[in-house]
Amino acid sequence: MREYLLTLCVTAAVTYLLTGPVRKFAIVAGAMPEIRARDVHREPTPRLGGIAMFFGLCAGLLVADHLTNLNQVFQASNEPRALLSGAALIWLIGVLDDKFEIDALIKLGGQMIAAGVMVVQGLTILWLPIPGIGSVALTQWQGTLLTVALVVITINAVNFVDGLDGLAAGMVCIAATAFFLYAYRIWYSYGVEAAAPATLFSAILMGMCLGFLPHNMHPARIFMGDSGSMLIGLVLAAGAISVTGQVDPDALNLYVGSEKEAVHQTVPVYIPLLLPLTIIAVPAADLILAIVRRTWRGQSPFAADRGHLHHRLLEIGHSHSRAVLIMYFWSALIAFGALAYSVNSASMWIVLGVVFLSAIGLALLLLPRFTPRTPRWMERFVPPRYRRRGVPALAPEASTPASITDQPSSLAPGSRAPVVSGVSGVNGATALGARSRPADRRKAGTR
User: What are the CB-based long-range contacts (under 8 Å, 24+) for 87-93?
Assistant: 87/54, 87/57, 87/114, 87/231, 87/234, 87/235, 88/54, 89/113, 89/114, 89/117, 90/114, 90/155, 90/230, 90/231, 90/234, 91/50, 91/51, 91/54, 91/227, 91/230, 91/231, 93/226, 93/230
pLDDT of the residue at 96:
93
Are 219 and 238 contacting, i.e. CB atoms less than 8 angstroms apart?
no
Name the nearest CA neighbour of 245 among 342, 148, 336: 148
pLDDT of the residue at 323:
78
Q: Which residue intervals of 217-347 are DSSP H helices? A: 225-245, 253-256, 259-265, 267-270, 281-296, 309-315, 320-343
**What CA–CA distance (Å, rounded) separates 400 from 149?**
70
Strand partners, 128: 136
Nearest 10 degrees: CA dihedral of 360, 365, 366, 370?
A: 90
Q: Which residue intervals of 66-139 are DSSP H helices? A: 71-76, 79-100, 104-120
- Reduced to 3 states (helix: H, G, I; strand: E, B; else coil), residue 250 is helix
Q: What is the DSSP letter of 128?
A: E
225-245 and 104-120 helices, crossing angle to 10°: 40
The terminus-to-terminus CA distance of the chain in angstroms comes to 43
Name the nearest CA neighbour of 175 among 197, 191, 198: 198
pLDDT of the residue at 303:
63
Q: What is the pLDDT along the chain (447 residues), one digit of tens a residue?
A: 889 999 999 999 999 999 999 999 999 988 776 665 555 556 778 888 999 999 999 999 999 999 988 888 898 888 999 999 999 999 999 999 988 888 888 999 999 999 999 999 988 888 776 656 666 778 888 889 989 998 998 898 888 777 778 888 998 998 889 888 888 887 777 677 778 888 999 999 999 999 999 998 878 889 898 999 999 999 999 988 887 766 665 555 545 555 455 555 555 444 444 434 555 666 667 677 777 777 777 776 666 666 666 566 766 766 767 778 888 888 888 888 877 776 776 677 888 888 888 888 777 777 765 555 666 777 777 666 556 655 444 444 444 444 334 444 444 444 444 444 444 343 444 433 443 444 444 334 444
pLDDT of the residue at 23:
93
pTM over 0.85: no
